[in-house]
């Protein structure tokens, strides 16, 4: 099995369960929030990650743990957003990976990079 197939299969087999558990945890422990709330929160968390990268890029001293923390915040908030919108991330990611791989292969045949 090639790398793309392994990736696609892993998404299919694991992401659904992870997303389901996030949904159960969120519903049990936190107030109900709208998709709009989670979308705004997601953008805020992504912005915090971007700000940390910008500081590092500018040569400022940035604790590397901030990248780990902010990336985790983005992931958690993405799970919450997807669940609030009833988006099956496993299906969505698998479909997107197929689109990306098709485009990558077409470009590769032309000698171009993605």
**pTM for this model (two decimals):** 0.88
66-71: average pLDDT: 98
| Distances from the Cα of 96 to the Cα of 8, 27, 105, angstroms | 10, 28, 14
Domain residue extents for the chain: 3-109
94: tokens are: 């698998």
* pLDDT tens-digit map of 11-61: 888 999 999 999 999 999 999 999 999 999 999 999 999 999 999 999 999
What kind of fold does domain 3-109 have according to CATH? Helix Hairpins (1.10.287)
Residue 76 has pLDDT above 70, yes or no: yes
């Amino acid at each position: 099995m090639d790398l793309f197939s392994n990736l696609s299969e892993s998404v299919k087999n694991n992401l659904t369960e992870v997303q389901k558990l996030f949904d159960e945890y969120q519903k049990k422990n936190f107030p109900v929030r709208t998709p709009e709330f989670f979308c705004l929160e997601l953008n805020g968390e992504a912005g915090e990650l971007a700000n940390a990268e910008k500081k590092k890029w500018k040569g400022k001293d940035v604790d590397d743990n901030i990248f780990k923390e902010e990336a985790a915040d983005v992931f958690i908030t993405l799970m919450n957003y997807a669940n609030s919108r009833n988006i099956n991330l496993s299906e969505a990611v698998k479909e997107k990976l197929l689109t990306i791989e098709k485009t990558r292969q077409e470009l590769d045949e032309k000698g171009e990079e993605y």
